[in-house]
Chains A and B, each alone.
Chain A
Amino acid sequence: MRNTLKVAKWEIKRNMKNKSFIISLFLTPALMLFFFFIPSIFGDSDNEGAEAVNVFVNDTLNVFASLQETVNQSELNWELQQTDLTESEVKDELQSSEDAAYIFINEEALTNGVIPVYTSEDIDSMFASEVNVLAAPIRTMQMEQLQLSDEQLAVISKGLVFHETTAEDAAADVVQTDSAEDPMKRVVPGAFAGIILIMIVLTGMNIFQSASQEKKDKIAEIILSSLTPAELMQGKILGYFVLGLTQGVVILLVALPVAIWKTDIPIFEYLFVPQTALLVVIAILGYLLFASIFVGIGATLSDITTAGNFQGMLLMLPFLPVIFIGPVVNDPSGFFAQLGSYIPFTSPGVLLLRLSMLDEWPWIEIVIAFAILIVSVWLCMKLAGKIFKTGILMYGKNATPKEIWKWIRA
């Protein structure tokens, strides 16, 4: 263990003294901020130049005033006007106008519950969702027309919420899940752990570089005269873990103030919850998994440019979760989400994504996924140890998959 720490310390010191590492340490958050702000830079100019949408309301029910109020409150970029055009006339009118919409509010629409809206072709894509804010005042009016008492009104306008309580929850302290909860509450710890995972995996790729450098510089045998291959390997994994964390911390130091300044999410409040700890553990397990794979492959290659298909594919493993992003975002509890949680290579990424999106954590799945992950980490470490031991001393030539298989079996 002492030797492991010495190696780790050396790797950290060596990188910290390296100019390119220091530069990338600060360049990474700078680039992230840059890309973060690009949309808002362009977005701002877009908004300023954007034409207001002309919304014409054919109102036969006298709700225009309350509509106007709602629009003002929601700060929509709308020019609300009244119109007398009929539905049939509107179609011709729209042909020749830009950024215009016609809304017809009358008895018929109210009874059907469908309010016809006609828009010009080039209408802003956000309009369809924006128009929904009008539902509230119209609904209020609808209910008033039904001549309900204020009490009845209050009950109805509350809407319905399904509050689910599983047997498990009931046994434990009942956790209230409010559907109106801020989704950020889950996303913040998830994003935090995600940043850590990405950083340590990216820095972990340097392990690969470092292991193969050991071969290239032919220093392995000198080092191994003082310690065992296992100690050298563990030292590297530990060292690069700390380096990755450092990168993560630097990013957070830059990103947090910006995030707090630019958004009004109570980040600290959401961050310091027990869930964060679990997510960070997932991130660390993910790192250990990939680090052991990288250090193993690194020991079989003297140069990344000579990586064969086999090694190249293994190097791509950390990016595997990307193919699960789509399905998981669509349905965080669906088949693909579960599948992704059970495949060790995608499990850290998919789990982080899912847990950031789900209000109710699927504990059984988490436990199974954890078990698989831990076993895989253990297995990969073992295999990497065997490969590393032989591979690191093989100079001048790369190991073939056949040879690697032989070392593993030895």
Chain B
Amino acid sequence: METVLSVQNLGKSFKDKEIIKHISFEVRKGEIMAILGPNGAGKSTTIRNIMGIMYPDAGTIAFQNHKEIPRHKIGYLPEERGLYKNVKVMDILLYLAELKDYPLKKAKERALTYLKKFDLEGKENVSVEELSKGMGQKVQFIASIIHEPELLILDEPFSGLDPVSQELFKQEIRNLAQKGTAILLSSHQMNLVEEMADRLFLIHRGQKIIYGNMDDVKTQYANFKCTIRGKNDRAVLEHLPDVQRVEQENDTSILYLSKDVQAASWLKSLPDSLTVQELSIDRISLHEIFIDIATDKNLLQEEGVVHA
């Protein structure tokens, strides 16, 4: 797949504080690439550097076949977003399309199609200030894709949306990717991203934690964990085979298993002395990895050292 955007060794500091460092990733045609990370991890800073709204202190940002930022071919939905208040929906959509040098007539057609798609039919002549927050979000989204961008950058596209609209956005983003748009989106909602992203870049405190294919990442990092309800001695659990780490809270113990464990045979190897009221075995979700990172439990770092 063609690489549309490639970021190499990006670094940016405010005063003496390094906000991001050594950030490298690529976005390819027709894929959804997600930048994940807790609040303040440096997601928006990375995106703003790509958009040329900030200037990086280090590293390079390269767009396919372009020396400068090809602004007309990028759609951008910033995290901090809004619209002019006292103008009509259609007027602002056309203005933003005009800024991208997109033909007006086509823009008008596309605007109407998308308004209809997003349940905003007939709102084109309504003043922006009369829209609800969710409607406003939809209009902003339409504005970012009205000019058929080759690269679409969405910074927290789902924040503040109700589940129905979230679904609508997700579908449309997938659609665009299928049609060949390269999509870079940032989010802190792991569950949403897990479903739709092809690749992900997990960032924390401005540094790369994980970068790779969603499936690879899942098999690589999302090991099995076994949750046992019942009073058991921690030392006993720790000495079970393939157990890397044990977390205990009241009567519940969570055993984090090593990567290569065979779930079935491992279960057979459990000693009879174990008190089991309930037992479940499943994979660590991205959500848990995310929380772990954000709360500095460093579960992943250990894993990362082993498997990186």
Contacts from A to B (Cβ < 8 Å): 3, 6, 10, 13-14, 17-18, 213, 216-219, 221-227, 393, 395
Known contacts being A217-B83, A221-B53, A393-B53, is A226 close to B96, with CB within 8 Å?
yes
B72 proximity list for chain A (CB < 8 A): 226
Question: In whole Å, how far is B114's beta carbon from the nearest beta carbon of chain A?
Answer: 16
Contact A217 B85 (CB under 8 A): yes
15 contacts between A and B (CB under 8 A): A3-B99, A14-B86, A17-B87, A18-B86, A217-B82, A218-B82, A219-B82, A219-B83, A219-B84, A221-B78, A221-B80, A222-B96, A225-B76, A226-B71, A393-B53
Question: In whole Å, how far is B27's beta carbon from the nearest beta carbon of chain A?
Answer: 16
Contact A219 B81 (CB under 8 A): yes
Q: With contacts defined as CB atoms under 8 Å apart, how many contacts are there between chain A and chain B in the complex?
A: 63
CA A6 to CA B77, docked complex, whole Å: 21
B98 interfacial by beta-carbon distance below 8 Å: yes
Contact B84 A217 (CB under 8 A): yes
**Ranked 4 nearest A-B pairs via Cβ:** A218-B82, A225-B76, A226-B99, A221-B78
Q: Which of A17, A216, A226 contacts B100 (CB 8 A)?
A: A226
B266 interfacial by beta-carbon distance below 8 Å: no
A217 proximity list for chain B (CB < 8 A): 82-85
B72, B74, B78, B91 — most chain A CB neighbours (10 Å): B78
Contact B71 A225 (CB under 8 A): yes
B81 proximity list for chain A (CB < 8 A): 218-219, 221-222
Question: A-facing mask of B122-143, CB < 8 A → 1, else 0?
Answer: 0000000000000000001001
CA A29 to CA B83, docked complex, whole Å: 33
Contact B96 A6 (CB under 8 A): no
A17, A219, A223, A224 — most chain B CB neighbours (10 Å): A219
Question: In whole Å, how far is B58's beta carbon from the nearest beta carbon of chain A?
Answer: 17
A216 proximity list for chain B (CB < 8 A): 82
B51 proximity list for chain A (CB < 8 A): 224-225
Known contacts being A6-B99, A10-B95, is A225 close to B53, with CB within 8 Å?
yes
Within 8 A of A (CB), among B71-120: 71-72, 74, 76-78, 80-87, 91, 95-96, 98-100
A17 proximity list for chain B (CB < 8 A): 87, 91
Known contacts being A14-B87, A225-B51, A227-B71, is A218 close to B80, with CB within 8 Å?
yes
CA A249 to CA B143, docked complex, whole Å: 36
CA A216 to CA B53, docked complex, whole Å: 18
Question: A-facing mask of B26-51, CB < 8 A → 1, else 0?
Answer: 00000000000000000000001001
Nearest B-chain residue to A395, judged by Cβ? B80
B96 proximity list for chain A (CB < 8 A): 222-223, 226
Contact A14 B99 (CB under 8 A): no
Known contacts being A222-B143, A225-B71, is A6 close to B83, with CB within 8 Å?
no
Nearest A-chain residue to B82, judged by Cβ? A218
Contact A223 B86 (CB under 8 A): no
Q: Which of B84, B100, B144 contacts A213 (CB 8 A)?
A: B84
A224 proximity list for chain B (CB < 8 A): 51, 53
Nearest A-chain residue to B99, judged by Cβ? A226
CA A222 to CA B149, docked complex, whole Å: 14
Nearest B-chain residue to A218, judged by Cβ? B82
CA A218 to CA B53, docked complex, whole Å: 14
Question: In whole Å, how far is B243's beta carbon from the nearest beta carbon of chain A?
Answer: 48
A227 proximity list for chain B (CB < 8 A): 71, 99
CA A224 to CA B144, docked complex, whole Å: 12
Known contacts being A14-B84, A14-B87, A217-B83, is A222 close to B140, with CB within 8 Å?
yes
Nearest A-chain residue to B83, judged by Cβ? A219
A395 proximity list for chain B (CB < 8 A): 80
CA A213 to CA B96, docked complex, whole Å: 17
